Amino acid sequence: MTQEARLKRVRMMADYQFGKGAGAVLFDDDAKFLLSKTKRIRQVHSGGERIATVRARDGFFTLSMEGARRLHGHLKAPAMRVSVVDDAVPFVAKGKTAFCKHVISVDPEIRAMEEILVTDKDDKLIATGQLVLSPREILCSTQGAAVLVRNGVDRDDKEDKDEE
Q: How many CB atoms lie within 10 A of CB 103?
A: 21
User: DSSP character for 47?
Assistant: T
Over the stretch 59-99, which tens digit does the pLDDT of each residue have?
999 999 999 999 999 999 899 999 999 999 999 999 999 99
| pLDDT of 74 | 94
User: What is this structure's pTM?
Assistant: 0.88
| pLDDT of 1 | 81
Number of H helices, E strands in the chain: 5, 10
| pLDDT of 47 | 86
Query: How far apart (Å, rounded) are the C-alpha atoms in residues 84 and 128?
Result: 12
